[in-house]
Structure 1
Amino acid sequence: MHVSDYQVVIERLSDEDGGGYLATVPALPGCMADGETRQEALERVEGAMLTWAFMAERMGRTIPAPAKLSA
Protein backbone atom coordinates (compact mmCIF):
# COMPACT_ATOMS: atom_id res chain seq x y z
CA MET A 1 0.00 0.00 0.00
CA HIS A 2 1.46 3.30 -1.11
CA VAL A 3 0.17 6.80 -0.66
CA SER A 4 0.44 7.31 -4.42
CA ASP A 5 -2.19 4.57 -4.96
CA TYR A 6 -4.91 6.44 -3.07
CA GLN A 7 -6.41 9.90 -3.29
CA VAL A 8 -5.09 12.02 -0.44
CA VAL A 9 -6.77 15.30 0.46
CA ILE A 10 -4.59 17.88 2.18
CA GLU A 11 -6.24 20.84 3.88
CA ARG A 12 -4.86 23.77 5.81
CA LEU A 13 -5.89 23.74 9.47
CA SER A 14 -7.09 26.94 11.07
CA ASP A 15 -5.05 28.54 13.82
CA GLU A 16 -7.87 27.53 16.20
CA ASP A 17 -7.25 23.89 15.21
CA GLY A 18 -3.51 24.23 15.81
CA GLY A 19 -2.41 25.33 12.34
CA GLY A 20 -0.47 23.21 9.89
CA TYR A 21 -2.07 20.75 7.49
CA LEU A 22 -4.33 17.70 7.69
CA ALA A 23 -4.03 14.84 5.19
CA THR A 24 -6.98 12.44 4.88
CA VAL A 25 -7.56 9.36 2.71
CA PRO A 26 -11.26 9.32 1.72
CA ALA A 27 -11.18 5.63 0.70
CA LEU A 28 -9.97 4.65 4.19
CA PRO A 29 -12.46 6.07 6.72
CA GLY A 30 -10.73 7.69 9.66
CA CYS A 31 -7.27 7.51 8.09
CA MET A 32 -5.54 10.85 8.61
CA ALA A 33 -2.36 12.55 9.72
CA ASP A 34 -1.23 16.11 10.29
CA GLY A 35 1.97 18.07 9.92
CA GLU A 36 3.43 21.53 10.02
CA THR A 37 3.81 21.50 6.21
CA ARG A 38 1.91 19.86 3.34
CA GLN A 39 4.90 17.57 2.76
CA GLU A 40 5.08 16.52 6.41
CA ALA A 41 1.35 15.72 6.46
CA LEU A 42 1.74 13.66 3.28
CA GLU A 43 4.72 11.74 4.68
CA ARG A 44 2.89 11.01 7.92
CA VAL A 45 -0.31 9.85 6.23
CA GLU A 46 1.57 6.99 4.56
CA GLY A 47 2.38 5.59 8.01
CA ALA A 48 -1.24 6.10 9.03
CA MET A 49 -2.34 4.16 5.95
CA LEU A 50 -0.12 1.21 6.85
CA THR A 51 -1.47 1.20 10.40
CA TRP A 52 -5.04 1.47 9.08
CA ALA A 53 -4.49 -1.53 6.77
CA PHE A 54 -2.85 -3.59 9.51
CA MET A 55 -5.74 -2.99 11.90
CA ALA A 56 -8.34 -3.69 9.19
CA GLU A 57 -6.70 -7.05 8.49
CA ARG A 58 -6.58 -7.91 12.19
CA MET A 59 -10.30 -7.17 12.45
CA GLY A 60 -11.11 -9.19 9.33
CA ARG A 61 -12.21 -6.14 7.35
CA THR A 62 -11.70 -5.61 3.65
CA ILE A 63 -9.20 -2.97 2.58
CA PRO A 64 -10.81 -0.83 -0.12
CA ALA A 65 -8.99 -0.82 -3.44
CA PRO A 66 -7.73 2.54 -4.66
CA ALA A 67 -10.21 4.43 -6.84
CA LYS A 68 -9.30 4.62 -10.48
CA LEU A 69 -8.35 8.17 -11.36
CA SER A 70 -9.26 9.49 -14.78
CA ALA A 71 -6.56 11.06 -16.88
Structure 2
Amino acid sequence: MHCRPLGFLIGLPFALIAFVLSVVGGLLFVIGSVLTCFCPWCYCYAGMANFVVHLIQLPIEVIRWFIGRIPC
Protein backbone atom coordinates (compact mmCIF):
# COMPACT_ATOMS: atom_id res chain seq x y z
CA MET A 1 0.00 0.00 0.00
CA HIS A 2 1.34 3.41 -0.95
CA CYS A 3 1.65 6.30 1.43
CA ARG A 4 -1.27 8.68 0.84
CA PRO A 5 -1.45 11.16 3.72
CA LEU A 6 -4.28 13.19 2.17
CA GLY A 7 -6.58 10.15 2.08
CA PHE A 8 -5.66 9.36 5.66
CA LEU A 9 -6.40 12.91 6.84
CA ILE A 10 -9.74 13.11 5.00
CA GLY A 11 -10.79 9.70 6.31
CA LEU A 12 -9.74 10.34 9.90
CA PRO A 13 -13.00 11.99 11.11
CA PHE A 14 -15.04 9.17 9.58
CA ALA A 15 -12.71 6.62 11.15
CA LEU A 16 -13.20 8.26 14.55
CA ILE A 17 -16.98 7.94 14.16
CA ALA A 18 -16.48 4.33 13.12
CA PHE A 19 -14.27 3.83 16.19
CA VAL A 20 -17.13 4.96 18.45
CA LEU A 21 -19.40 2.49 16.66
CA SER A 22 -16.81 -0.24 17.16
CA VAL A 23 -16.71 0.45 20.91
CA VAL A 24 -20.50 0.13 20.99
CA GLY A 25 -20.11 -3.07 18.98
CA GLY A 26 -17.62 -4.39 21.51
CA LEU A 27 -20.07 -3.75 24.32
CA LEU A 28 -22.81 -5.52 22.38
CA PHE A 29 -20.46 -8.45 21.79
CA VAL A 30 -19.82 -8.80 25.52
CA ILE A 31 -23.53 -8.57 26.30
CA GLY A 32 -24.32 -11.09 23.57
CA SER A 33 -21.66 -13.47 24.88
CA VAL A 34 -23.12 -13.30 28.39
CA LEU A 35 -26.63 -13.86 27.06
CA THR A 36 -25.42 -16.83 25.02
CA CYS A 37 -24.07 -18.41 28.20
CA PHE A 38 -27.51 -18.13 29.82
CA CYS A 39 -29.52 -19.02 26.72
CA PRO A 40 -27.38 -21.09 24.31
CA TRP A 41 -30.30 -22.25 22.15
CA CYS A 42 -31.11 -18.72 20.93
CA TYR A 43 -29.69 -18.39 17.42
CA CYS A 44 -30.32 -14.65 17.16
CA TYR A 45 -27.18 -13.98 19.20
CA ALA A 46 -25.01 -15.59 16.51
CA GLY A 47 -26.31 -13.12 13.91
CA MET A 48 -25.76 -10.26 16.32
CA ALA A 49 -22.20 -11.45 16.96
CA ASN A 50 -21.43 -11.43 13.21
CA PHE A 51 -22.79 -7.89 12.90
CA VAL A 52 -20.79 -6.75 15.93
CA VAL A 53 -17.55 -8.19 14.54
CA HIS A 54 -18.16 -6.14 11.38
CA LEU A 55 -18.69 -3.02 13.52
CA ILE A 56 -15.44 -3.64 15.35
CA GLN A 57 -13.51 -3.88 12.05
CA LEU A 58 -15.21 -0.77 10.62
CA PRO A 59 -12.57 1.91 11.49
CA ILE A 60 -9.83 0.04 9.63
CA GLU A 61 -12.08 -0.51 6.61
CA VAL A 62 -12.99 3.19 6.50
CA ILE A 63 -9.37 4.35 6.57
CA ARG A 64 -8.37 1.81 3.89
CA TRP A 65 -11.29 2.90 1.70
CA PHE A 66 -10.34 6.59 1.90
CA ILE A 67 -6.64 5.91 1.34
CA GLY A 68 -7.49 3.86 -1.74
CA ARG A 69 -9.68 6.60 -3.24
CA ILE A 70 -7.24 9.51 -3.01
CA PRO A 71 -4.41 9.57 -5.58
CA CYS A 72 -0.93 10.70 -4.54
Larger Rg: 2
Which bracket does the TM-score occupy, shorter chain normalised?
A: 0.3 to 0.5
Structure whose residues are more often helix by fraction: 2
Structure whose residues are more often strand by fraction: 1
- Per the normalisation by structure 1, the TM-score is 0.33
